Structure 1
């Protein structure tokens, strides 16, 4: 592979045609003027020199004028045996280069047109005409084969690109369809819960104040869940305007934990405390979101299984890690609590962040969720 790359780099060098033309011209002059070529009249010598230069010098213009160069070199090469009965050996590499270029860059008709004069010379019995026809035909075919292979590779690459684009559009369309259907189904039910909770506050006779507060908390939680679901589903939809994406609220972080704890305190029957230890510093937004979701799910878990128990939420900032400890004073573990989807979601989030999570009965009673997340400082610009 390294040798192939070196060869391609050498063949694509901008000075290669000029260097090749200079070398072949020197060889052609030496071939024509060599003492072993025999005495010749001055007119013959001048003609041979002109044809020798005609087969090599134009090679310097191969890249800028490929067809004109090919016509000139082909004409000079055929005139040499036709006029003087000699084969310009030094000009044969130049002839091969120009014919290969014609086959590679031109259409099949153009390549066939260049083969016609060689076939005519071979049919007329010109010296070395058959050998020139075979060599020219093989070179033109090789160049045309390279052109065909390159076009096929390009078409294949374009087809794959179109297929990838079509697949991407199909994926986006399917994601948008799922998001719309999920939104229509879940949003309807969550909205119904919110409306029923609000209605129950005013239509339930003899409802104590604590019950009204519970219904109010249910409505608030349902509206919050609806808002977060719409925010999450927004990233799945391709038909969301750019202005709506920019206006979408940011994902929650650790600075919103206090509001989360206040909400948990209002909706549960027990006390909820937030304890922060260590110097708090800026963290990666993804890590903050993971920590927030773990605390949120742990509080939901505690409210569901230990509704009247006190709960402590503890954040411990370390130099290389962030530790979360959420402990309630409830009855501890149970079958539904150990195998719930909430704990599975917390474990998945922790694993994605590269951390560890332990959830189970606490040593002093109750239930403990403890997560350790590796800290990566937020990049500053």
Structure 2
């Protein structure tokens, strides 16, 4: 759209547009009526009357609001057509504008009533100008009504969208609060009981070997660490949680793998090696988090289902992908997996499913299964594009 047309649209929508249109059309209407009267050879008094009627059919557009302006101009136009069979082109334009403004502003019934006299005059032989006034006046009323209805529909649609978005946000907030309550009331309670029972067993069991006491202490520390992570998660889910509960640390990445392997060695007492090949590169944070969680879950599964087995964690960097291999030298899964099992030892669980979902979420893939020489293998291929 050019600057000139854009300026015209802005001016037409401004409050000064009716004033300018009324003044301009009034001047043109008065000049047109005077010229007609003079060329027709009428008396000076009639020239003055024609000029006043021409002004009355246009000037109210500039000085009155839509409804009074429409009533005044219609009365003057009907009087001019009915008594003198005279109507100016500028008056016709002004009449179309006032009827459109009135219908556009919501005065549909009044605009329809004001357009009716022109139809009557046209049927009674009021001349060509009466027919034009009836035709263009009806179109102006219809157009104003249509645009007004469309505007109202857009407003109602926007209001409905706002209500839908508000309901969706409210529902999501309520669901997060419900999940937070479930985690707080059920999961956090059980984890805290694990910490308490581990500490109680360590302190109340006489003659316990030092290694057993250390293991119970580690169980208590791990449970307390889990409670801390649970509180941070609750802080994310609950928007009304206090700031100290909603403490949000950066998500772990591959830089924390050594700490993760140290924890695995201390907890299981077995070996855990980290083997890196290729040229390490900066990865997308989502890919690093997925790799870290996959390795963490694989180490947890190995510790749970193959206690005492050594674990090798291999990272192979290429230009396009990061390949992960987590392999333990345990006995491997049983010949048959019970219903609901996860394929790495007995009992139900969602560890392997969660790993597959994490890999798929970043555009990778994951494969799990026993190895030919025993043990269990987790292989993942993740995209290795550089972090933006």
The residue aligned with 1:200 is: 201
Name the residue aligned to 1:169. Answer: 170
The 5 A counterparts of 1:320-359 are 320-334=320-334, 335=337, 336=341, 338=343, 340-359=349-368
Q: Secondary structure at the match of 1:213?
A: helix
Corresponding residue for residue 156 of structure 2: 155
Distance 2:272 2:160 in 1: 60
**Partner residue in 2 for 1:369:** 378
| 1:1-381 aligned within 5 A | 12=9, 14=11, 33=35, 38-45=40-47, 47-48=49-50, 51-52=53-54, 55=57, 61=62, 66=66, 70=70, 73-89=73-89, 91-105=91-105, 107=107, 115=114, 140=141, 143=144, 146-147=147-148, 150-151=151-152, 153-241=154-242, 244-245=245-246, 247-334=247-334, 335=337, 336=341, 338=343, 340-379=349-388
CA separation in 2, counterparts of 1:72 and 1:337?
85
Structure-2 change in CA distance of 1:243 and 1:134 (3 Å): farther
Deviations 1:148-206 (A, max 9, x none): 55335423532442243134223312321231132121111111111111222222233
Distance 2:326 2:116 in 1: 91
**Shift of residue 127 of structure 1?**
5.4
Shift of 1:77: 2.1
Seen in structure 2, the aligned counterparts of structure 1 residues 43 and 234 have a Cα distance that, compared at 3 Å, is same
The verdict on how the C-alpha distance between 1:318 and 1:184 changes in structure 2, with shifts beyond 3 A counting, is same
Answer whether contact 1:283 1:376 (CA < 8 A) is retained: yes
**Could you tell me how far apart the structure 1 residues matched to 2:182 and 2:332 are?**
38
* Distance in 1 (alpha carbons) for counterparts of 2:200 and 2:342: 31
Distance 2:243 2:152 in 1: 39
Q: Structure 2 CA distance, aligned partners of 1:332 and 1:23?
A: 95
Aligned to 2:326, the other structure's residue is in SS state strand
For 2:263 and 2:372, locate their aligned partners in 1 and report how far apart those are by CA, in whole Å.
27
* TM-score (ref. length: structure 1): 0.78
Separation in structure 2 between the aligned mates of residue 160 and residue 135 of structure 1, nearest angstrom: 37
* Structure 2: distance between partners of 1:289 and 1:20: 69
Are residues 288 and 267 of structure 1, via their aligned partners in 2, closer, same or farther at CA, if it must alter by over 3 Å? Answer: same
Q: Name whichever of 9-18 and 325-334 sits farther off.
A: 9-18
Q: Distance in 1 between matches of 2:243 and 2:153?
A: 40
When structure 1 is superposed on structure 2, of 293-302 and 268-277 the one drifting more is 268-277
The answer to whether the Cα contact below 8 Å between 2:103 and 2:144 also exists between their aligned partners in 1 is yes
Structure 2-normalised TM-score?
A: 0.76
How many residues were matched structurally? 365
- How far apart, CA to CA, are the structure 2 residues paired with 1:355 and 1:116? 70
CA-to-aligned-CA distance 1:240-269 (integer Å, 9 cap, x gap): 245653x32222222221111001001113
The 2-side partners of 1:342 and 1:25 are apart by: 85
Distance 2:26 2:285 in 1: 67
The alignment partner of 1:338 has SS state of: coil
Relative to 1, partners in 2 of residues 1:31 and 1:322: Cα closer, same or farther, differing over 3 Å?
Answer: farther
Tell me how far apart the structure 1 counterparts of residues 9 and 56 of structure 2 sit (CA, whole Å). Answer: 24
Tell me: CA distance 1:10–1:333, structure 2 relative to 1, closer, same or farther (3 Å).
Answer: farther
Compared CA separation, residues 9 and 243, structure 1 to 2 (3 A): farther
User: Does the aligned pair in 2 maintain the 1:273–1:312 contact within 8 Å?
Assistant: yes
What do the CA deviations read for 1:110-136 (whole angstroms, capped 9, x no partner)? 758x839959x97xx995799778986
Quote the RMSD (CA, aligned, Å).
4.1
In the TM superposition, residue 292 of structure 1 has moved relative to its aligned partner by 1.0
CA distance in 1: counterparts of 2:373 and 2:114, whole angstroms: 96
